[in-house]
Amino acid sequence: MTDVTVSDPAVARQSLPPARTAGMRLPLQWLGVAPFFIFALMFLILPAFYLVVGAFQNAEGEFTFANIIALFQPSIMAAYWISIRISLASALIGALAGLAIAIAVVRGGLPGWVRSTTMTFSGVASNFAGVPLAFAFLATLGRLGLVTIFLRDWFGVNIYTLGFNILSFWGLTLTYLFFQIPLMVVIITPAIDGLKKEWGEAAATLGATQFQYWRMVAIPVLWPSFLGTVILLFANSFGAIATAYALTGSSLNIVPILLYAQIRGDVLQDPHLGYALAFGMIFVTGLANVFYIWFRARSERWLR
């Protein structure tokens, strides 16, 4: 007769009883998660690992740094540099805009429907990347886009003659903001929710103005989450290709597009250089995510 009082912690801590396999309990547990690990290994870890190893090999299979060094040639460095700049720009602007919107919606005293609508929309918009997004912005700010024509016909301002072009660095950044800002809103909202109302009230009783409260308490508390999310946005943008490809073709030479061209047709004349490119991407996004996790851990420690 088994005692099924699960409330007793000693009982709950025991493994469940398939008694016939009592002796083989250890291996059997792993059987349950084996498919997952095999899948992850075969289709996530090993492919990435394969590329990383290939980055350090030459055509004969010997270990070499030559590919990594070759990354530092001007055209590839330019590609990395432009990728980094676009990612930084869209991450910083996206983060600040997203923060402003999140604060306005969560703490700005607006009616309840504003918040739920914004959250839903942000969930949608953060997934609306890729090719359709490029189309949307072409239809908005392209040469024949609605806004372009509107500004020209109603205000006499032709943004294209003024030097703007959707198929450019700033055009792409502006387009990226469409999924970066909502991503920021979605991620930072829980952190803003975590700003307890009592903190603001306590600060007020201690004589602080709203500005002083934000400067001395709220912003420092949000800072790790904010910085962490900037980094996440950076990594998100760095790896994105579909939107850029659809918008600028290969005219804007960001790293993913370079890699794409390399995979398609070995434009770099050296397959191992392709591996090195991929490794470089993993390195950048991996580093960014390490920082993100570190910042998140720090902010969670405070708010325990």
Partner 1 sequence: MSETFLSIQGVRKSFGATTVVKDFNLDVARGEFISFLGPSGCGKTTMLRMVAGFEEPSAGRIMIGGKDVTNLKPNQRNIGMVFQAYALFPNLTVAQNIAFGLKVAGVSKAESDERVREMLGIIKLEEFGARYPYQLSGGQQQRVALARALAPRPKLLLLDEPLSALDAKVRVSLREEIRLIQKKLDITTIFVTHDQEEALSMSDRIVVMYDGRAEQVGAPFEIYNRPATKFVANFVGTLNVLDGTVKDPSKAIVHVDGREIRLKDGALNGAKAGDALSLALRPEAIVLGRQEGRDSSLIGEIADVSFLGSVIRVKVGLGRNAVSLDTFNNPASPPPVVGQKTEISFSSGDLLVLH
Partner 2 sequence: MKRSRIWSWVIFALGAAYFFIPLIATFEFSMRMRRGEYSFDAYRVVFGDPRFQQTFLYSTVIAVFTILIGVLLVVPTAYWIRLRMPRIRPVVEFITLLPLIIPAIVIVFGYIRMYGSSSPLPFLATNRGADVLLMIGYATLALPYMYRAVDTGLRTIDVRTLTEAAQIHGAGWTTIISRIILPNVLIAVLSGAFLTFAIVIGEFTMASLLNRPAFGPYLQNIGANRAYEPAALAVIAFAITWGCMSVIQVLSRFAPKSANNPN
Interaction with partner 2 in 241-280: which residues (CB under 8 A)? Answer: 241-242, 245-246, 249, 256, 259-260, 263-264, 274-275, 278
Nearer to partner 2, 66 or 136 (CB): 136
From the list partner 1, partner 2, none, partner contacted by residue 201 (C-beta under 5 to 8 A by kind): partner 1
Contact 278, 55 (CB under 8 A): yes
The 67-96 contact track toward partner 2, x by CB under 8 A, reads ------------------------------
Selected from 91, 125, 166, 252, the binder of partner 2 by CB under 8 A is 125
Tokens of 65: 């740094």
Q: Which of 21, 29, 209, 250 binds partner 1 (CB under 8 A)?
A: 209
Does position 112 interact with partner 1 (CB under 8 A)? The reply is no
Give the number of residues in contact with partner 2, rule: CB under 8 A. 86
Q: Determine phi and psi for 63, rounding to 5 degrees.
A: -70, 135
Secondary element (H or E) of residue 177: helix 169-193
Of 214, 145, 139, 230, the closest CA to residue 181 belongs to: 230
The two three-digit tokens of residue 140, written as one number: 């908005």
Quickly tell me which residue has 């700049």 as its tokens. Answer: 85
Contact between 212 and partner 1 per CB under 8 A: yes
Tokens at 304, concatenated? 């325990």
The single residue listed with the structure tokens 């969670």 is: 300
- Rounded CA separation 37/27 (Å): 14
Nearer residue to partner 1 within complex by CB, 122 or 225: 225
Segment near partner 1 (CB under 8 A); pick from 10-18, 169-177, 200-208, 231-239: 200-208
Beta-carbon contacts of residue 70 (< 8 Å; ≥ 6 apart)? 76, 270, 273, 276
Give which of partner 1, partner 2, none residue 65 binds (C-beta under 5 to 8 Å, depending on kind): none
Helix axes 169-193, 74-107, angle to 10 degrees: 40
Q: Phi and psi for 23 in degrees, rounded to 5?
A: -75, -30
User: Is residue 190 close enough to count as binding partner 2 by CB under 8 A?
Assistant: no
Out of 205, 264, 265, 269, the only residue in the binding site for partner 1 (CB under 8 A) is 205
Taking the least distance from each CB to partner 1, the nearer of 6 and 206 is 206
Chain residues in the site for partner 1 (CB under 8 A): 196, 198-199, 201-209, 212, 216-217, 220-221, 301-304
